[in-house]
Structures are given as structure tokens and as C-alpha cells.
Structure 1
């Protein structure tokens, strides 16, 4: 099988790109003197060209000729400079421009050029730094460090900033097992954002799946590799949030940047030729196509072998198992499991998309972890006094109603969280009853409508001591519930110290103070409370990693729960009492929850 991308050999550099329906493909090299074109040769569905010499560092792209018929699945236009789908570094960021979608308009001056990588330097194979039941810390690289007072200004907002001692000290204070980096590969802004004066601040609109964004990772592969190594040296794993479900080329009116101009069959189409949009982003990558699965697998291998990452979180993961309907035995799962580089990596699914039958929590393979939005919603509803103890008890004990029957000692696959990048911050959950997304330019129509949030009597910021006290009590109660729960847990950066987004629950386009983490005004008392909770959990990690056995549910006075107690939505106190598992050195886990006093007490005895 042809190795795709640009590969430097002993005496030559070989370029290969897939474009099965093109009539001609040219390799375009860029230097100070301009662009030079080189005709490529067809080898089956691929086009290849070998040039003498070591061309590492050279800028390049492709042009392809063929039929231009967007409504018949072909977007061939030799005036469009195309980014190599296998590029790993780019010389500039993507930018939105109307010329990208106009036939005959040359785009060489606005499209990034790929950079020929140096010969592979494989990362030594090491087991992932991660334990089930531990704490995953989700963060946006730019927003997390752009205002950090202890990080040098030239590093702020970059991947390298995560290796700074001040950042690592914060992660270690929280007993973080692994950081989960929101997308760091190069993306393009959605078309509607530029007229609004906004940009995509989250990165969930990629074009080239392996190419690191030059703004977030200006040092390229080496910067990511060095940052991963620095975090590993402190016992902290690195997970990448990756988007395999769509590309930033958008709908039929979108631009021609890469796959669309080379191999549009990578996108799923209905029988009438229209693009399937199971992602809400204009297109959906077709995982029934072996070439798409190969691109996804090669992307993962790249980040593991060259950068040493420990695993991945998959955005809108059901798309990976669609062909077009969701198949729990989809080929991609077996291909990952049988791959020697990927078989032991951490795999976390966001188990829903917006396509038909798109919600699949609990349906992924047994080794996968899954974001559990039912935990998020039910814990919020419990502390809002809209749900009874029975529902909370199920979530605390690992959501066996979702993940099915289990044997004793089996690992829990739930990733429990209270808030994520998408939605209210945790502090805003207790401060805003309604979303406030006016700054997004969509008349407050975007973002989740049902957040199970409340405001303690005042919408937004308040100087009332009683309101402030009530909100702090709510936050402590919910965080205590999270850290007492069975399963892996996830905390989004800043939630440990009360970060607010001013009620914006869809801040994807807010690369400003709304979306940035404010380190100067953080609540250090809340941060210390979270650190204490996390330290307790970390000391008895296995108590939380597995579905509990030998559990008793008791009332506040130590009596077994009666049927009526389970539906209590008032001030009832109950105790979750898990005896140590036979044959382990784990101690007893005892969690007391009292809604009337906003109390969650975790006792771990040896």
C-alpha cells in the first residue's frame, strides 16, 4: 500500500496523494522565487512523484483537474491550491475567503502550504499514563493559558505553555491524571463568523486531520512532543480531542481546501448526491469508505508514534460507526483494537451526533469510555430539587442502567462530568437560569436550551451575601457528588475555581474574555476544596474505577432505605456505603449526601 503524504528517504523525497477520480494532479512546490508545478503519475487511486534530495522543510501543496460539478459530487478545479490530507505541519493558519468556493479563482495566496516533515523519529513505545476512575482535565490550550500571569507572554496561548512549571503545579495540585486538549489541529472559521467579527475559538472545524495549528503549536510536531514528554515526566497523560466526523469544507456552498478538491467521495452522500449532514456542520465523513478509516487510523498512529500521546476523545463519535446507520460492530472499532500502536490507547467517545438515531450512550465497545451526559443532567436536577435520590444513586454507582449488566470487578466505562466546553460553566449553572449568548450574533438562538440550571434568585453576578453563599454551597455539593462517583471523572478547566462565561453556553466563537480562563479572580477556597476532594479520590482510586459491590443504601440515621425514600426530592440525607472488595487492599467507601445542608462527605477508611 502506498504511503501517503510527503516522505523523505535516503536520497529522495516521495509525495503521494489519493485522488481516484482526478484526470491530472500536480505537486506544487513553493520557494522565494514562487511556485513550481510537477506532474504526478497515477498509481491506482493515488498519484505519486519522487524528487531527488532531502526536501524536509519545503512548502508544498497540490492541484487537481477533472470535472467541476458540485451537485454531482465533483469539485475539481486546478486553480485551487489543495492542502495534503496527510500534512503534519502548515506554514500558516486557514482563513475564510469567498474565492475558496468560486470556480477558476486561484487560491494559492490564501491557502496554507504543507511543510515536508523531517524523517520520522518514532516515539518510544510506552504504556498510556492513565487509570480508569481517575481525573481527566479538559482544557482549551489558548483560553487556558492566554491570561496566566506566571506563564511568559511569548508562550501564552500555545501548547508549549502547558509544560510551564506553574501550569504543571496547578495540574498536580488537582491530582490530574490526564489533560484532554480540545482540538489543536488546523481549522478554518465558519463562513458566518467573519462578517460578525468573530472567530472559531474551539477548533472543531478541521481541514487537515494531522496538521497542527500554527497558532496553537508554532513549534509543530516537536513542540507537541516536548510538551507531552514534560507532562509525562510529572505523571500526567495527554489525550487529544480529535474531530473525524466532518471537515471545515462545509456544505455545498463551502470552500475547496483539501479533500473536496481531491477525493470528495470521502464525504457521505445521499442517493441523490446531496451531502449527508449528521454533524450539523455541512458534511459528514464517510466511515464506510476504507480510505476514510485509513486516514483516521494513520492520524492516530501519527500522534502516538511521533508525539507519544496517551489516547483520544472522539467528537460526535457515532459518525465513526455509521455506514450510514450506526453499527456497534463497525469496522473502525476492530481496526483500532487490532493495531499494535493503538490497541492500548485511551479511547473516549462523545456518544451522540445529530443524525437519525444519533444518541448511543452505552453502545460503544467494552474497552471504550463514554461521556455520560445523564450523569451531568441528573446531578444538576438532584441539586435543583427536580429529581429524587433513586436517580442520583444510580449515577453515583456507575450508571449501570446505561452500561448494562456487569460482573464483579469490571471497570466502569462512564466518564462522569458536570460541565464541559459545550454548555454552561459550572459556576454559570448556579448563576443563570437561561443562556445569554447574545455576543454570538445569532439572537441568542444557539446553544442548549435546557440546561437544568438555576440562579439562586438573581440572574448573573450578585453582590448579595446570601446569594453568593448559596451558589458556593451548590458548587461544593455538585463537585462533591462528582468526586464521589463511580467511573472516570472529567473536570473542565476553571470549574475548580468558579470560572464564568457570563452566561454564554456556546462560547465557541468567543476568543476573548468571555472564553478565556481568568486566573486573577479565581476562588482559591473552592480550588482548595476541589484539590482536597481529588486527593481523597486519588488515594483510593480503585474504589471509584469499578462498579461497586457489597453496597448498602442507608438513611441518615443508618437504617436501610425504604421505597418511599428513593423518590424524596426534599431535604433527605442518605448514605452510600460500599464495603471493601474481597481480595483487595481497598478500604471502605462511605459517601453521605444531605441536600438540606448541601453536604457531600466522602470517607475513605483503610
Structure 2
């Protein structure tokens, strides 16, 4: 076929079919020429190599009439190979289009992917002449009709949100209620079985581990492992192919639509802080070959090397206008065309770091928050990285919720029995106001969790005192050291009924604490069933039964209990208020929105390092009218002591009585007159006010 390039236009990056041909546009500030390479439909044979005919500013572009949807292509970029100056152009390396919406084939681990000669005495300063095309995934021209504008999602208010963090494959790979041909795919996430599971739990948002196209790390492949979690992105617009089911890419969109129809939002865990190309020893797959000095942050002392605030080898340079544009274009694509409702930003501190350090008013944050599309979606920050000043919990703008690791650690420490932990728990129960209550932020800003993909599962937190990561092949040196976990007497599996009962009780207590806390609760997939990873607290490379959810794990009725907790929280608005509670008197009735007491009804001794029993009375915020919040008081009783404790209950209002609404110990429920209540050892209880003639059942 004869190809006759016309100039095309630079306004829309990527490859876009208009019905008559395809416009190509790609950014590079330092290239001397960029060639478009066309391939056979299987991606195996290069059929044409054409120089993009125009450069407008830093955008290279051209239009090919007659080119069809489905065309497979890649780029080769010419320019200086001068690593000591930050440039690593090598036209022998085929490059993925940063804006591609679909990949053809897969990346294969081969030395030809490197821009330098592996083993050469000059290391990455050497130049490798081998063609990488046989070993790389290619880009595909997609029909724009495949990506129509998506409809509006459920738009669940933050204060009504319950998040469920899950891995696309791991969630359904072992679920025999899901059709076998769907398991592990986007399609499976919205299967009838999974929708029923989510609805029974009261889930309002599913947060998915990375679904952007990613690459398996070479060092993992050499050990017979794989990058399971997916925090190794190479394509910010392309759904990861390994999760594609029978419906193809459309399966992702149908998944979102079905979840939306069930009243469930979709949040993506996104990785814009680094890419799969690693440090100076990594492969040349896309960004490095197109314009290394623009896409990445390089060290001032020697541009040969990369700033590594992420711990992965490189740091994406979102301060560069075109890189920032790519990130924002990607986010808008997933909202407008794929229908997602929000994002959790991996290592968000990296994105907010300016030359002088972390800046919540920096370029990325400002651009994101003012964007008419992105300003209205849910935004969640992982508020740390390993760079200077990396830990920034509570420092993000008001539009963000933040993963609150202080919540996780405090709840674990308290129920493990650590001294001085009750004082911290009191703050966590009220939404960590000392961290988040500024700049008009709301209580939902604290995203509370007991476990997440990174670390022990909830079951393992009660079954292992130490990590057991031998399967990762790193000598058990990887993963967190401080898990605040406890084996309850035996490390790992046991048949001892007393230990099993204690573990189950502790899991129920921690889950009850989560659902009774102000803030936004998040469940890790499988924790509602006691799922274990055999003590592995860093299962990033375990694409197997270690990392997958075990749907046969629930031996203690934990799922039914979580279902009850979710329903209880949903039924009582005082447990999910948007305003922080500080014990202030309410204008409507003069009663405080928070009251603390010990077992005798007196004020707790917060100086007692071993304080283990206390009560928390919750009412509607003093800042809101009673009509807005409702007069729905809940009395939370927490007893970590090894023995039962008698609790003096506050007198109920005239015509009302206290009723046990939820407890983690005995199943008995009933009305209680003012007086003493016996709370079991290691128990959480929530009492509600009911009319004197209310039935016993809750």
C-alpha cells in the first residue's frame, strides 16, 4: 500500500480515526525525528516506516488517509543518545504510543528491550543496535465509537460511602459462583454472584487495584513470578489485557454500567508517580525513548540518573506541562469514556512534590481540582512516598480523602493490648480530627481501614506475629516490619478451639470498631470472610492462591457479622456524619455531640496507660440542626479487658430505653433499663435508644 502523509493536526494526542483515515500526534521536545512504524495485524511484521511530516512546537504529527481501524503501530524516535545529558534516544527500540487505548501482544523479557548493551563495561552509557520490535507490545488504532461518552454514576455522598478494595483477578479467580469463563476478568466483577455479594455487604464503591496496562518486572520473571498487583504502568489509557474477558475491552465498560445500575461506584487505583521503565538499567519501552529528559525527573548532579522518590527506580515528571497534560487526559478518559467515579492516587506525595518540596497547592493539585470533569469525582490520596518529607497524612486539599494508616495501626495496637493505645483509639473513633479538621475538611476525609492489599489481611493480623514472605524469593526481607499483629498464641494455622475463638473475636472487634468510627470505612476484599495469605504481607508477586481471595474461608460466620455491621451503620446516621465531633453543646437541646465515660459513668482516666474499657456517646454534630442529623444517639461500649465488666448506663430519656443494637460477643439482644450492663471480656457493643414498647429484635 502506498502511504501519503498529510500534515494532520497536533491538537489531539494519540492515534484518532475520523472515518477516512488516522491522525497521529505524539510529544517530544528533544527528538530530531519521529517515525511511525506500521505492522501486520498480529504485530509480528513491520510493513512500513514513515517519518511524521510535521512538528508544531513539541508535538510531532501527521495524517494518513485510508488507514483503517485496528491498525497496529509503534514509534521510533531519533535524537541524541547522551545519557550523561539525560537523553536516551535509540531508534532501534520500538516505542508504545503513550496515548494508546489498546495493546497488541505483550512485552517479552529480552535484552533487546534495553537501550544499552547488557554487560558492557560502560553499562548504560553503551548503545544497543538490536531491534526490540519482536519483543514489545504494539499500539492499536481503535474505533472512537468503542469509547462513547459514559453516563453519570450513582454519585454516592462521601458520608454514605463504604469502599471495597479488590484485585480484578484475585477477587473472582476462585469463586465457583462465577461462571468459569469469566473468573479473573472485568466481566466477572459485575457478574450476578458478585453483585449479590456487594449488595449484601452494603458496598457503595469498589476500588480496583491498577487496571492500566502494566509490565512484568524482569527480576520477577527470572524467579518464575509475576507482577500481580500491577503497580508497574506502561499505558495510562489502555485497560490491562490480562483481565479482558469474552466481551473484550467493552467488558470493562459493561462492568462499570452494571455496577452503576446496582448503585455501586468504581474507583481506580492509579499509578502516575512512576512507570515500568525503571532506572537507568531498565528497558526502553515508551517514555524513555520518546523524551527521557521531559518525562522523568533526573538528578541535578548527573542527569544520567533518576530521582527515585517512589522506590521503583524512576519518578514521572508531572511538573512538565506535557506530562501533566497526559496525566489529566488519562484521568478524563477514564471518567468520560470508561465511566469510573474516582481515583486513589498511589504515592500521591510524589505527584504533589514541587522543586521546593511537597506543595498541596502545586501544579498537579491545582490542575486536578479546577478541572470541570475531575473536580467532581472522588479523589483519594495515599499520602506518602519515600522522598524527602514524604509522609503527609492530613496535608491534602479539602477535596481529598486520605488513606489513614494511623487508623489501621491504632486499631491493631489497641486490640493487641498495647499500652497507651486507648487514647489514640479515641481520636480515631472521631475521624482523627486532630489530623484532618482544618481548612473546612469533613470527617469523611479520614479513609479508615484495618487492612489493605499492602500488608497483612485482617485474618493474618490475628494469626501471625511475623511476616512469612519466603515465597517472594527475597529471603523474607521484603514487606513491612511493623505490622502490629499478634498470633494469639500459635503462629499460623491451628486447630486449637480456644485460639480460633479468640482470633475470630478479635476480628469481629476490629471490624466493629471500623464500622462504628467516624470517617470513610474501607474493607479489603476477603476480610469479610477471614481470608488469609498464609502470613505473606507483601503478596505483590503472588498471582496464585496466596494472593487470590479464598471463598471457602468463612468458618466463623464472619460474613453475616459484617453484613450486620454494615446495615447497622447505614441505619444510624450519627455513625457517618460529615462534620467532626468535639463534644460541643448542641444549640437545639444543649446536649454535647460526644460524651466519654468509664465503666462507672465517670470521665475516663486518659492518663492510664492500660485503659481498656470506656464508653462513647454519639449524637448529631453541634454544628448541625437536629432535623438535619436526627436525634439518633448511639452508645458505643468497648471492653478490651480479659474479664467481663459492669457498665453503668446513662439514664435514657423519658419513654425510651436502651436496646442492644450490635455486639461482638454473645448473640443475646434485648431492652435494657437504666442501670448496669454486663459487657463480656474483649467485646464491642453498640446500644441505641428505643421506645419502651419496641420489640427485642434489632
The TM-score range, normalised by the shorter chain, is over 0.9
**Separation in 2, partners of 1:394, 1:224:** 40
- Aligned match for 2:608, one of 550, 562, 567: 567
Change (3 A) 1:210 1:389: same
Retained in 2: the 8 A contact 1:349–1:368?
yes
SS in 1 for 2:212: coil
Asked whether the equivalents of residues 370 and 413 of structure 1 are also in contact (C-alpha less than 8 Å), the reply is yes
Q: 1:115 is matched with which residue?
A: 140
Describe the shift of the 1:472–1:352 C-alpha distance in structure 2 as closer, same or farther (beyond 3 A): same
**Residue 297 (str. 1) matches residue 319 (str. 2):** no
Q: Is the 8 A contact 1:555 1:575 kept in 2?
A: yes
Structure 2 distance, partners of 1:131, 1:601, is 27
Distance 2:135 2:255 in 1: 30
For residues 87-119 of structure 1, the C-alpha deviation after alignment (integer angstroms, 9 at most, x for no partner) is: 111123333322211421211111111111112
Structure 1 vs Structure 2 CA RMSD = 1.9
Using the TM superposition, give the Cα deviation of residue 421 of structure 1 relative to its aligned residue in structure 2, in angstroms.
0.3
2:542 to 498, 504, 510: 510
Q: Report the secondary structure of 1:129's partner residue.
A: coil
2:68 is matched with 55
1:25 paired to 2:56: no
Gaps of 5+ in 2: 1-9, 117-127, 583-591, 642-680, 691-698
TM-fit CA distance, 1:568 = 4.5
Counterpart position of 2:396: 364
C-alpha distance in structure 1 between counterparts of 2:132 and 2:688, whole Å: 62
Residue 349 (structure 1) aligns with: 381
2:635 corresponds to: 590
Name the counterpart of 2:97: 84
Which of 283, 286, 296 lines up with 2:314 in the alignment? 283
Structure 1 residues 536 and 108, CA, compared in 2 at 3 Å: closer, same or farther?
same
Q: Could you list the per-position Cα deviations for residues 576-600 of structure 1 after superposition, in whole angstroms to 9, with x for gaps in the alignment?
A: 4334652325322321111122222
Query: Based on CA coordinates, which of the two structures has the bigger radius of gyration?
Result: 2
Which residue is 1:96 aligned to? Answer: 109
Task: Give, in angstroms, the shift of residue 157 of structure 1.
Answer: 0.8
Q: Post-superposition shift, 1:196? A: 1.0
Out of 35, 40, 51, the residue aligned to residue 52 of structure 2 is 40
Distance 1:84 1:604 in 2: 58
Deviation at 1:287, TM superposition (A): 1.8
SS in 1 for 2:350: helix
Q: Which residue of 1 aligns with 2:188?
A: 161
Residues 288-333 of structure 1: per-residue CA shift (max 9 Å, x gap): 1111111110001100111110000000001111123211111122
- Kindly indicate whether the alpha-carbon contact (under 8 Å) linking 2:187 and 2:255 is maintained by their aligned counterparts in 1: yes
* Distance of aligned partners of 1:541 and 1:250 in 2 relative to their CA distance in 1, 3 Å threshold: farther
Q: CA deviation at 1:389?
A: 2.1
Aligned to 2:551: 519
Tell me the CA shift for residue 382 of structure 1.
0.8
Q: Is the 8 A contact 1:201 1:508 kept in 2?
A: yes
Deviation (angstroms), 1:364: 0.7
Between the aligned partners of 1:566 and 1:551, the Cα distance in structure 2 is 23
TM alignment of 1:188-207, pairs within 5 A: 188-207=215-234
If the length of structure 2 is used for normalisation, what is the TM-score? 0.84
**1:458 aligns with one of 486, 490, 494:** 490
Higher deviation after alignment, 20-29 or 540-549: 540-549
Consecutive unaligned residues in structure 1, runs of 5 or more: none
Corresponding residue for 1:175? Answer: 202
Residues 313-322 or 103-112, more deviating: 103-112
Shift of 1:412: 3.1
Tell me: CA distance 1:286–1:406, structure 2 relative to 1, closer, same or farther (3 Å): closer
How much does 1:497 deviate?
0.8
Could you say what secondary structure the match of 2:316 adopts?
coil
Q: Within 1, Cα distance between the matches of 2:514 and 2:442? A: 20
Aligned length: 604
Counterpart selection for 2:259 from 231, 249, 254: 231
Change (3 A) 1:93 1:326: same
Mapping of 1:122-137 within 5 angstroms?
122-126=148-152, 129-133=155-159, 134-137=161-164
Q: Normalising to structure 1: TM-score of the pair?
A: 0.96
| Deviation of 1:603 (Å) | 3.7
CA deviation map 1:443-484 (0-9, x unaligned): 111000011111111111111111101101110010000011
Structure 2 match to 1:398 = 431
Deviation at residue 54 of structure 1 after TM alignment: 5.4
Shift of 1:371: 0.3
1:599 is the counterpart of 2:599:
no
